[in-house]
Copies of this chain bind each other. A is one copy, B any other.
Amino acid sequence: MDVILQILLLLICAKLFGELVERAGYPALIGEVAAGILLGPTLLGWVTTNETIEIFADIGIIALLFISGAEMNLKSFLERRNVAVSTAVAGVLVPFAGGALLGYLLDFSQAETLFLAIALSITSIGVSVRILVDYKQLNTIVGTAIVSAAVLDDIIGIFLLGILSAVAMTGTTLAGDSISMGLLIAIVFLVLFVLIAPRALRWFFDLARKTETHEMVYSVAIILALASAWLSQTAGLHYSIGAFIAGLILGEQIRRDRLLFDSLMDFGFGFFVTIFFASIGLLFSFTLETFLSPYIIPLILVAIAGKIIGGYIGSIHFLTRAEALLVGLGMTPRGEIALVVAKVALVGGIIGSALFSAVTVMVIVTIIITPLLMKQGFIRAQITEKESS
């Protein structure tokens, strides 16, 4: 029962803080992350990450991406291809360059500099999507641009992570073969998945609807989300990508069954997604050493400025200035991938624990600051719309 008590504490605290933050006009996720920080090792120390909590969090991010996919309009998502590609590319290049510059200025080794550049490159699709859901902006032009760019971001992320793993293992960047192999597998998987999955997923889903119990449709929706997530993970992509595509494909059928959609929303936002965000807070370990670290402030500034500028440059040709700024802002949160990158680098001996913990602080700060900044952005964007109309 110990782990159940920890989950209970996380859930109570996260829901309470989320509600308070929401009443103050900001997205609940800030409160949920704050709950994890409070209960985690730095402050109270009542809850520590363990395998079970990690699996609850994994199911949380899978549910989040699946539900968000189901909520999005597949057509308008596909229509935004151009803005997605250009935003993703610029949104990775600028913070990558920023990280490289920072490493140079701080006199880091080549491997450390490469690590820094990569850790700053990849948006957390989970956090970005959650902010859009909380602000009810998922299906707007800004929302679709952010999400589609974040999906491509993740594919670029595999490539970068592959390079880093090669450096961590061999000390050189010459393992190009295995990296391109990994990228090839991921792309072949994606193409096959997009070709075959729609038929297969819809067939299974329709089959489930023929059974007598409503729970069966619900179970099959969860099964398809988990299975797609597992497949994409096996192909080397982040598992949230598979869950998101499955959601996009089944969106129309799920939205038509209002009872099912609400029930899945409860499953996600009433339980697992909350635990995912609280578990992010648990990662926060802030010691005096971190506080005194000379990297921490520049790292955070480059993280925020890099994505805002990159996202803005990438999307300005397709959107208004206020919208492009919001796209840049929306891509600012870093998450799972930055943490994986940091772990690979730490284990591979590329970085020390001080830089590792600085990266976790950067992740938490971008997650908490982005929704705060975006609120101003959304208010401003609405003013612009009113003025122009």
**Residues of A bordering B, CB below 8 Å:** 1, 3-5, 7-8, 11-12, 15, 19, 22, 51-52, 55, 58-59, 211-216, 218-220, 222-223, 226-227, 229-230, 233, 239, 259, 262-263, 265-267, 269-271, 274
Contact = CB atoms under 8 A, between A and B. Distances in A.
Contact of A270 (B216, B239, B270): B216
Contacts of A219: 11, 15, 270-271, 274
A216 B214 CA distance: 22
- The list of the 3 closest CB pairs from A to B, nearest first, reads A215-B270, A218-B270, A218-B266
Contact of A265 (B8, B215, B220, B233): B215
Contact of A230 (B8, B218, B227, B262): B8
A3 B57 CA distance: 13
B52 A7 contact: no
A215 B59 CA distance: 17
Contact of A1 (B3, B52, B239): B239
B211 A19 contact: yes
Contacts of A229: 1, 4
Contacts of A8: 223, 226-227, 230
Contact of A222 (B212, B213, B270): B270
Contacts of A213: 269
A4 B230 contact: yes
Contacts of A19: 211, 216
A8 B218 CA distance: 14
A12 B222 CA distance: 10
Contact of A59 (B4, B55, B223): B4
A48 to B, nearest CB: 14
Contact of A267 (B59, B216, B267): B267
A4 B214 contact: no
Contacts of A263: 262-263, 266-267, 270
A29 to B, nearest CB: 13
A226 B5 CA distance: 8
A270 B208 CA distance: 12
A218 B269 CA distance: 9
A220 B15 contact: yes
B267 A4 contact: no
A214 B58 CA distance: 23
A226 B270 contact: no
